[in-house]
Amino acid sequence: MPLAETIAPEAKAPEAIRRELRVPAALPARRRDLVFKPIGDEGDHVIKDPTTGAYFRLGPQESFLFARFDGHHTRQSLAEAYHRRFDEDLGDEDLDGFLQIAEESGFFTPAADRPTAPTVVTSPAAAATPLPKKSGQSLLSWRKSVFDPDRLFNRLEPKLRGVWTRGFLLLSAGTILSAVLVSWLNRQELVTSFPGMLRWETLLLAWVTLVLATTMHEFAHGLTCKHYGGEVHEVGFLMLFFIPCLYCNVSDAWLFREKSKRLWVTLAGGYCDLCLWACAVLLWRFTAPDTLPNYLAWVLMGVGGVRSFFNFNPLLKLDGYYLLSDATDMPNLRSRALGRFMAYLRWMLWGGARPAAEQRGTFLLTFGLATWGYSVLFLGLMVLAFVHWWGGNWGTPGAVAAVALGVVSGRGMFYGFSNGEVTNMFTKRKGRAAVWGLALLGLAAAGAVVPMSDRAGGPFKLRAASRAELRAPVAGFLREVHFAEGEAVGAGAVVLRLEVPDVRSRVSQKHAEVGQAEATLAKLMSAPGAGRSGSAAADAASIQYWEIREAEGQLRRAREELRYLMDVYDKQPVASPVAGMLVTPRLTEKVGQFFKEGELICEVEDPSYLEAEIAVPEQEMARVRPGCTVELKARVAAFDTLRSEVTRVAAGATAASTPSLQQGLAAGAAAPPSIGDVPGRVVVNCTLGPSAAAAGVRPGMTGYARIDCGRRPAARVIGARLMRYVRTEFWW
């Protein structure tokens, strides 16, 4: 029978003991303040203790017995009624066991208010051993009550009854489906717009939005419970996996007979989130970009989407879990599933007793495995994040503190993992212990033989492999632009024309000066002698010689100045040395602007061949060589993988905080914090062919790249990384 475990027979039957001790035949009476209501149609009931706020669920047989604890039924009359109802005999041992559980749960009137009944003594072997109970709150799930919202909900519920109508349900469901369709059609834009929104004002607004959305979420739970006749007396603060949340205690939903009402109470908060998210999606899509309503809608859409993702996850004790628990009629689903999973682990690993068959046991085992695995993974990632964060700020003590926090927080996850079965395995099941030893040796051997990929990785930025910067060859004003952004430019084509003030007139003047200097020189060269002799003739010849020299100097100077002015004049049209595409935006708006000599005017790039500059952390550079295979994930094409090979590696490392690296990488590609000094980065280059253009990537875009440095035994790869981390971050 499911009422209690069978108790070994005593030397005297309970009836004989009662006769000897003159025990009253009447059974104790249940407390009148307990709320006792049916749930479902199979005889189950729920008990609510108003003094403690605790809820208890009883099966059909237990409910039948509890209903007759009125102080008037005797054991004999109760046994007869039980036999008529279930066609089974009610043994004294079973009844005593149920009475003991009910007494411990506080279901009966105080002992001072009823006739004194003796304790039925059983043999020590038959005494029930209480299950161990956890005390206190876990660091991963901590809660604090804040206020009683029952009066507030009593005032709000009548004003909001329209949201529980069929019409609102159809309208909201249609809105949610429309938002899902809009999100799917615009999925690429949503993914690519995310990095640009990551700034401090977004985080602040997201925090405020999260608080408001969470408040509406919890109020939806409480108001729905109030709508169906329940009471809500607790709203508080919850810290789940170190994530701040709010909670609303709607345990009164257990008193609803209809399962549909209980499910709606559980679903109300998540459905409220979906409605907010759907409205935000539609507002984001139908408002102009770069406007305040569009920005606010994007933030609300992101917050609502993340909340819904976690909230409907049944592996967390949030709405998704309680929906699953209510839908399957399995209270305490998580604890039961984890208990069964740990029992199977003890059986498979240490050779403990095999768990007994149970209704829906496979479901419990599967859910327990998924829940435990998810919790361990989440805690592991959280500890790693704290190790990097605290270790980066406080060094080794910070890293040790993060690991200690993980150990303290996660010890409850391994509750029941051994239960003494490991010791029993070494003392009583030595064959299994030997198998474990051989398995560990085989694992070590496999690690030394089985190869795995040794990879390095880092953020990258794309640039055109063939590109040209068109700079002002001379100082002047921009007068003509022959191409617009995105237009193809041929090699040698004139892209723009500068204008140097007065250069044309100055060229004309210099031409005249050159002519005049040439005429003067010719005149001096053709001048006849003076016809005199002696010292006078010598003086005249000397004067003529120096005049010719001066005229020649003036002519050379004029010609040089003319050559310079002609060179300036010829440099006014600026041509592209390479074929490609003009990538400078709004170049025509710069017409009339003055540019200094050497100042950048525009750029021409060939987008058909791109070069990726990958910033690889210095600690991962040991095996990076030209020719290594590279896989790249660009943010604009998150679902496409681009492949290439390393073409060259920089000669030295660059500090992660230097401006050159910050200019070469997107803001979202900054190096993560690490323990000790911030490591440098080595730039690794690879070339992408025309296939990259098909994926939608363009120069200037960013992403993350992985470099395959070959395959080595797994133990060497993992061991080298571990030793490198420990020795550099902690020992030296």
- Would you put residue 489 in left (φ > 0), alpha (ψ -120 to 50) or beta? beta
H or E element at residue 679: none
* pLDDT category of residue 214 using cuts at 50, 70 and 90: confident
Does 501 or 144 have the greater pLDDT score? 501
Encode pLDDT of 643-691 as tens digits: 899 999 988 887 754 333 344 444 334 443 333 344 688 999 998 877 7
Does 540 or 728 have the greater pLDDT score? 540
Q: Tell me the mean pLDDT in the region 181-205.
A: 76
Encode pLDDT of 419-431 as tens digits: 888 888 888 888 8
Encode pLDDT of 543-600 as tens digits: 778 878 888 888 888 888 888 888 888 888 999 998 888 888 888 889 999 999 999 9
Encode pLDDT of 642-652 as tens digits: 889 999 998 88
- Would you put residue 356 in left (φ > 0), alpha (ψ -120 to 50) or beta? beta
Residue 125, pLDDT > 70, answer no
pLDDT of residue 274: 92
Amino acid letter, residue 373 = G
Residue 171, pLDDT > 50, answer yes
Encode pLDDT of 67-95 as tens digits: 888 777 788 888 888 888 887 888 778 78
Residue 21, pLDDT > 50, answer no
Does 197 or 704 have the greater pLDDT score? 704
CA separation for the pair 82, 95 (Å, rounded): 11
Residue 555 vs residues 509, 517, 524: alpha-carbon distances, Å: 13, 5, 13
pLDDT of residue 529: 55
Encode pLDDT of 270-284 as tens digits: 999 999 999 999 988
Residue 38 vs residues 62, 81, 117, 500, 702: alpha-carbon distances, Å: 12, 19, 30, 95, 61
Percentage of residues in the chain having pLDDT higher than 90: 15
Strand partners for 152: none
- On the 0-12 / 13-18 / 19+ scale of CB atoms within 10 A, 389 is middle
Residues 6+ apart with CB under 8 A from 410: 140, 375, 376, 379
Residue 412, pLDDT > 50, answer yes
Residue 24, pLDDT > 60, answer no
The overall average pLDDT reported for the chain is: 79
- On the 0-12 / 13-18 / 19+ scale of CB atoms within 10 A, 89 is exposed
Percentage of residues in the chain having pLDDT higher than 70: 83
> What is the SS3 assignment for 322-333?
HHHHHHCCCCCH
Classified as helix, coil or strand, 608 is: strand
Q: Which is nearest to 432 in space by CA: 422, 441, 442?
A: 422
- Rg for the chain, CA atoms, rounded: 43
Give the highest mean pLDDT range of 97-106, 108-117, 445-454, 525-534.
445-454
CB 320 within 8 A of CB 334: no
Which domains are delineated in the chain? 14-126 (3.90.930.60), 141-329 (no CATH), 333-449 (no CATH), 455-463+606-731 (2.40.30.170), 467-590 (no CATH)
Does 59 or 600 have the greater pLDDT score? 600
pLDDT of residue 275: 92
For 687, the token pair is: 């070339």
Q: Tell me the mean pLDDT in the region 430-435.
A: 88
pLDDT of residue 463: 87
pLDDT of residue 84: 81
* pLDDT category of residue 175 using cuts at 50, 70 and 90: very high
C-beta contacts of 304-310 below 8 A and 24+ residues apart: 304/213, 304/273, 304/274, 304/276, 304/277, 304/280, 305/277, 307/210, 307/213, 307/214, 307/217, 307/273, 307/277, 308/270, 308/273, 308/274, 308/277
H or E element at residue 672: none
Q: Which is nearest to 543 in space by CA: 533, 558, 530, 554?
A: 530
